[in-house]
Amino acid sequence: MNKVKTTIVSTLLLSLAMASPLGSAGVASANVSAQAQVYPSSVAPVEASSGAFVDRYQNNVKENATVESNPALKVLSGYLELWTPGKTWDGGTVLNQTVLNANIQKVVEITTKRTEAEGKAAYLDDRRNQSYSVIDGLGPLADVYRQLAGAKTTILDIPADATEVKYDDKGTGEGDPESKLGNMVKLVKTLRGNYSSTNPSKGYYQYPRPFRWSEEVSVLPTLVPAKNPDPTNDGGFPSGHTNAAYLAAIAMAYAVPERYQELLTRASDLGHDRIVAGMHSPLDVMGGRVMATALSAAILNDPENQSLKEAAYQEAHTTLLNQVGTGTDPYSDYESNKQKFTERLTYDFPLIHEQGKAMTVPEGAEVLLETRLPYLDDTQRRWVLATTGLPSGYPLLDDEEGWGRLNLFAAADGYGALVNDVTVTMDAAKGGFHAADQWRNDISGYGKLIKQGTGTLELTGNNTFLGGVQLEQGTLIGSSATAWGNGHVVNNGGILRKNVPGELIVSGNFKQTSKGTLELALAGSDGGPLRIKGNATYGGKLRVDLSGMELSENQRITVITSGEYDAKSAFASVEVNGLPAKTQAKTIYNAHSVQLLITKK
């Protein structure tokens, strides 16, 4: 203990005291959401120098103690640019003082500002089985799952003598494999199986826990008895709790993709609680997440697990999701979930590598979206991962295959860009996300969105893609002013629906053929027409909802504005809902608008 203070900690604390604010010393600091992304021309996986992780994951055992022989060590090898492990726990060398200083200083700040509620959550996440904790991400169905799966914990609260006694969870974790949700339980256990331990990596990297770097790190008093007194067998990088939490969360999210982002956020919370507890640093937690992401994809890709993952999905949808939720949902706030998860992907570390590098998508990573975006094929899922990944340049995350830059939360919201034309075919008869889904990302790119199939797709982002929209079948909903991007919009045979209180903008031309239907909701306001900047050609059906508006006879309501209008075209039929009793609406085509004139019947 004395040796580490003299050889490592004194240097680090001196640097902390002298350092300028984060982002100085010639290293840029950046917020994830503020950076421009660069997209690849292909999503074919790179040829990894030691072989693909998904093909080698079973080599993650203690006997394989080199980067070349152990894929877990390889996926985390970006740490070797920050830190050279020593032959002993206190013999390592700091290579990037700016980053590692910030790493410990973040723990000091977080533990110093820790609230009582945060401390309680951190204690429970430390002492409970990680799989049991992650069940919270199921929200109203969490208690139902625990009952049906036989998932139990013996850590119900913080014991009065927790500052003196170490308590271990004697419960069943994710549950009983012979329970009514036995296949879900088995899937979690499989992902957390024999090849998923962080111990080989901890032993290799030998990066000390934060409380061994700085006495200013405030370990949670109730967890002091849980501190390992033997520093030779207590590495901090990567976080085992975080790794286990993400493995359990991804397994459950595969079976219950309806709670995909909520389960990921629960795992993120558990990882962050390791910092709140003073037990791990941000880089430890980031490493645990990256490792779990790669392991999850590898195990889900393993042909030996094919029938199990399918059985777990079916079981979740025939047994669990048919139940009535009995609890509250701590993860009901989408924006809060997104903010927390995104910030913790990088913890706003300074950028230290080349910026502007296009994403590489690891071999097999598409399986992580297999149930969340089931109507896309594997190549399309890889494009989703490529266009929602993190920018390059962050410490640890620029691994050779691309695992560190994956952002599964964003990927669950669909494409981040249409690099090429994208055809989406959704079959409503299959139910679930095949029947209806929502893309919430801000979609850029040069490609066109082509919607086929009977399902419904809703776009909510501030979209700028240039290729336009082509609707062939089903329903496409625009729930933001720029939902349909900056190109032309063509409706050849589906329902095109405006679902935004203000204007919905078509930046290019608009054309609807005889088989198309345009639905415009103007409820509550007459100030939100469909605004077509280019030329307009009308056909098919027009449906307008005026419910909630104060209407009177002889009132004119503008429902569409446009540039030039093809005077030879017109809607074959116009349906208007929400009219006052004994009134009707007459459709009037002007040079640059379509209006409804309210008249007496």
Q: What percent of the chain has pLDDT over 70?
A: 93
Cα–Cα distance, 49 to 37 (Å, whole number): 26
Q: What percent of the chain has pLDDT over 90?
A: 88
Please state, in angstroms and as integers, the Cα–Cα distance from residue 16 to each residue in 10, 11, 21, 108, 287, following that order. 10, 9, 10, 11, 23
Cα–Cα distance, 190 to 14 (Å, whole number): 45
Cα–Cα distance, 276 to 220 (Å, whole number): 8
Give the pLDDT confidence of 485-529 residue by residue, as tens digits.
Answer: 999 999 999 999 999 988 999 999 999 999 999 999 886 644 589
Give the pLDDT confidence of 407-449 residue by residue, as tens digits.
Answer: 999 999 999 999 999 999 999 999 999 999 999 999 999 999 9
Q: What is the pTM of this model?
A: 0.94
Looking at beta carbons, which pairs linking 39-43 to residues 24 or more positions away fall under 8 Å?
Answer: 39/358, 39/359, 39/386, 39/387, 39/417, 39/419, 39/445, 40/358, 40/359, 40/360, 40/361, 40/386, 40/419, 41/358, 41/419, 43/361, 43/379, 43/382, 43/383, 43/385, 43/386
Dig out the tokens for 186 from the structure: 């088995």
Give the pLDDT confidence of 232-251 residue by residue, as tens digits.
Answer: 999 999 999 999 999 999 99
With tokens 């040796």, the residue in question is 3
**Is pLDDT above 90 for 550?**
no
Kindly indicate the confidence band of residue 8, based on its pLDDT and cuts at 50, 70 and 90: very low
Kindly state the average pLDDT of the residues 463-481.
97
Give the pLDDT confidence of 137-195 residue by residue, as tens digits.
Answer: 999 999 999 999 999 999 999 999 999 999 999 999 999 999 999 999 999 999 999 99
- Of the candidates 83, 102, 104, 101, the one whose C-alpha atom is nearest the C-alpha of residue 92 is 83
Cα–Cα distance, 2 to 550 (Å, whole number): 78
Note the pLDDT of residue 138.
Answer: 98
Where does 393-516 have alpha helices with state H? 408-411
Q: Which domains does the chain have, with CATH numbers?
A: 52-349 (1.20.144.10), 415-600 (no CATH)
- Of the candidates 245, 234, 236, the one whose C-alpha atom is nearest the C-alpha of residue 126 is 245
Give the pLDDT confidence of 209-231 residue by residue, as tens digits.
Answer: 999 999 999 999 999 999 999 99
**Is pLDDT above 80 for 35?**
no
Asked if 461 and 442 touch (Cβ cutoff 8 Å), the reply is yes
